[in-house]
Structure 1
C-alpha cells in the first residue's frame, strides 16, 4: 500500500466529510452513534484523513453517515491498498484530468547544453517575479508575447541543459510559477485556450517538482477561469481539489487564497451558503500564525484583497448592503497605479449600487470603468464594462444612466 494512495484516500474522505458539512468531532460522534460504540475519537478521523490508516471496518458506517454508496468507498479503499488499478481518487482524480498528455518537460535523450547551477535559477526566479510585478500595472495584452517567450526559454533551459537533480527541481518550480503568470496574463487578454494550456503545463511542472502548494495555486487559477467562462461545475470541482492538494500544512497565506477561489467557485455555481462559509475559512487562514516562509507568488494576498472577494461574492449574491461599504473602503485605500484592478473593483461597486437602487451613483462608477477599459488591453476589464452597462439598462429613465448609455451603449454590441 503506497503512502500516496493512502493520502489520496484521506483527502477523498475529508472532502466527503466537508461536503456533508460535518466537523471531525461531529463525524466521530455520529459514527459512534450508528455503530453503537464509544471507541472512536476525532483524532482517529484526523488520522484517516492524513492517510495514516484506512478505516476498513468503518466503511459501511461512514457511507451511512455521509450519504455515499458503500461500494464507492470500498473501491476507493481497495485502490488505496494497492489491490485495484485505475483512476486515482478524490483531489488527485480531479487534478489528473488536467495534466497534459505526454510529457512536455521530458529531458532530451542527450543533454547538449551548458551546465547550469543555483545562480542561473536565481536569475530566472528574479525574471519570474518581475513579470508578477509587471502584471500589477500592465494589462494582459501588453505582456502576452514577452511572458510566453520567457516560458518557452525556461522550458528549453530545463530540457537541454545539464544540471543536478536539486537544480532541476528548482527549475521546475520556476517553470510552474512562470506558467501560472503566463496563464493569468493570457486569460486577462481573452486567450482562454492558451491560458489553459499554460496552467496545465505548470501543474505538471509543479507536480514533478513535488511542490503541492504551487500545484494548488495553478489548479486554483485554472478553476477561476473555468468558473468565469461558463464551466461552473468544473471550476468548483477543481477549486476544491486545489485546497485538498495543498493540504492543511500549506502556508496560511496560500490557504487563504485557495479558500477565496473556492468561495468564488461556489458563488458562480449559485451555492450561497458554502460560498460564505469558504470566505470565513479564507479569513481564518489568514489570521493564523504564519511560522513558515510564504511563497513569493502569494505576496499580494492580504486582508484587503480578501475583503474585495467578500464584496464580489456579496454583489453576485445580490447583497449590496454588505458589498457597497466594503468596496468603497477598499477603493479609497487602493493603489491607483493598479489601474486594471481599480477598474474591475469599480465594476463590482457599480453593480452593487444598482442593486441598492442607487442608479445615479452606479452610472458615475460605470463611466469610470468604461473610460479605463477603452485604453486597456484587458479582455477581463472590457467584459466587466459590458456587464455593468447591461445591468444599468434597467434604469434608462434616469438621466445619468441615459447619458452613459448614449455615450457608450455601442460597446454592448462589441
Structure 2
C-alpha cells in the first residue's frame, strides 16, 4: 500500500535514475549485472518508483548503479519505512515554512537593493520552469521547483525594494507559486502543492493582480476537484473566475471557465458544466483588449477541445469525445509525453464507453507504456482508471491480454 512517504521515496529514486540517464529496463539490467543475479525486472523497478515497495537488499547495488552514497539511499529507505529520525535527501519536503497561515510576505528593511532587472530575471526563471514542465514530470522537477520558490521568497524578504519593484517581485512569486503547486501536485505531493498555491494566491493579491490570483486559485480548485473535494472545487473555481472579472484577457477567462466546467463535471453537475464550456469558447473568440499574460501561452482552441472531450468522457458522451481527442492527439508533439498519456487515457475510456473494447485496449497499452517512465502521479492514476474501466470487457481477447500484462497496477 502506498503512502506519502513511499511515494516520495519513489519520486526520489526515479529522479536519480533519470539523472543517471537510464530507463527502467536499463536500470533493472544493470542491477542484475551488479548483483550477479537475474531477479530484478522493469516491473520491480516500477513498483519501487510508484511507492508500492521499498528496496532493502538491493540498496547497495542501487547505490553502485546510480553512483550515489549507500548511506544516502539507506536514509531515504528508512524515511520511506516510517523512521521519524530519517529524512528524504531532497532539497525540501514541505513549503509550509515559507508562509505560515496568516502571515504576509514583507520585504526586508536592509540588504541588497533590487530593481527592474531583478524582476525580469526572476520572470525568466519562472517561465523556464513552465517550459520545463511541458516536457518533464513532477517527480523530475520538484527539487528545482522548490528551490526556485524558496529563492524568490528569500530574495523578497531580504532586500530593499521600491513599491514598483516590490509589486513586480510579488507577481513573480505568485507565478512561481502556481507552477510549483502544479508540479508538486503532479508528483503526488498534494499538501505541498496546496501550500505553494496559497503562497501564490497571497502574493498575487498583495500585488493587486486579480487575474493571476484567479489563475492560482483555479489551479487549487482543479486539485480539489480531482481529489475528493468536489463541492469545494466548484465553489473555488467559480470564485476564481468571478475574482478575475470581465476585464481579464479573453484567453485567461477561457481558462478559468474551463476549470469551472471541470469542477462541475467532477461534481456530477452536467448542465452547469456544459454552460461553462460554451462560455469558455465564447471568451476565447473575443478580441483581446489587453495582452494575454505569459503564463497563458499554452491556452488555445486545441486545449479547449481537450477539456471539452474530457468533460464529454466523464459525462459518458463518447461519440462527442472520441473525434475531438483523436484530432488533437494527431497534432500533439510527442515530446509532451505526460499530456499524451493523459489525453490517451480519456480516449481509451471514451472508446470503452462507445463499445469499442479492442481499440480501447490498444490505447490502454499506449497509456501504460507512456506513463511507465514518467514520475507523474497523474498519469499513474489515469492508467489505473483505464484498466479498471476495461474490466467490463475482460472476455474480449485484446482486453484480457492487457489486463494479464498490466492488471497488477490496479493493486497499487
Of residues 169, 172, 175, the one that matches 1:171 is 169
Of residues 204, 208, 212, the one that matches 1:206 is 204
- Unpaired segments ≥5 residues, structure 2: 1-98
**CA shift digits 1:173-222 (9 cap, x unpaired):** 00000010000000000000000000011100000000000010001000
In 2, Cα distance between equivalents of 1:231 and 1:304: 28
Conservation of the 8 A alpha-carbon contact between 1:257 and 1:282: yes
In 2, Cα distance between equivalents of 1:174 and 1:158: 10
Instruction: Identify the residue that residue 105 of structure 1 maps to in structure 2.
Output: 105
Instruction: Identify the residue that residue 353 of structure 2 maps to in structure 1.
Output: 355
Conservation of the 8 A alpha-carbon contact between 1:267 and 1:275: yes
In 1, Cα distance between equivalents of 2:183 and 2:216: 13
Conservation of the 8 A alpha-carbon contact between 1:100 and 1:200: no
After TM superposition, give the deviation of residue 291 of structure 1 in Å: 2.4
1:254-273 equivalent positions in 2, closer than 5 A? 254-273=252-271
Conservation of the 8 A alpha-carbon contact between 2:107 and 2:161: no
**CA shift digits 1:148-167 (9 cap, x unpaired):** 11101100110110110100
SS of residue matched to 1:290? coil
In 2, Cα distance between equivalents of 1:304 and 1:209: 32
Report the RMSD for the aligned CA atoms in angstroms: 1.0
Of residues 249, 272, 275, the one that matches 2:273 is 275
After TM superposition, give the deviation of residue 104 of structure 1 in Å: 4.6
1:20-59 equivalent positions in 2, closer than 5 A? none
Instruction: Identify the residue that residue 127 of structure 2 maps to in structure 1.
Output: 129
Of residues 97, 105, 117, the one that matches 1:119 is 117
**CA shift digits 1:6-64 (9 cap, x unpaired):** xxxxxxxxxxxxxxxxxxxxxxxxxxxxxxxxxxxxxxxxxxxxxxxxxxxxxxxxxxx
After TM superposition, give the deviation of residue 353 of structure 1 in Å: 0.1
Conservation of the 8 A alpha-carbon contact between 1:239 and 1:262: yes
Paired residue total: 314
SS of residue matched to 2:160? coil
Give TM-score, length-normalised by structure 1. 0.75
**CA shift digits 1:330-377 (9 cap, x unpaired):** 001111111100110000000000000000000000000001111100
1:297-336 equivalent positions in 2, closer than 5 A? 297-336=295-334
Question: Larger Cα Rg: Structure 1 or Structure 2?
Answer: 1
In 2, Cα distance between equivalents of 1:291 and 1:329: 31
Conservation of the 8 A alpha-carbon contact between 1:100 and 1:201: no
Instruction: Identify the residue that residue 160 of structure 1 maps to in structure 2.
Output: 158
Instruction: Identify the residue that residue 386 of structure 1 maps to in structure 2.
Output: 384
In 2, Cα distance between equivalents of 1:162 and 1:274: 48
Give TM-score, length-normalised by structure 2. 0.75
After TM superposition, give the deviation of residue 100 of structure 1 in Å: 6.1
Instruction: Identify the residue that residue 140 of structure 1 maps to in structure 2.
Output: 138
After TM superposition, give the deviation of residue 101 of structure 1 in Å: 2.1
Of residues 211, 214, 219, the one that matches 2:217 is 219
Conservation of the 8 A alpha-carbon contact between 2:218 and 2:240: yes
In 2, Cα distance between equivalents of 1:133 and 1:372: 20
In 2, Cα distance between equivalents of 1:231 and 1:141: 24
Runs of 4+ aligned residues of structure 1 deviating over 3 Å after TM superposition are none
Conservation of the 8 A alpha-carbon contact between 1:389 and 1:412: yes
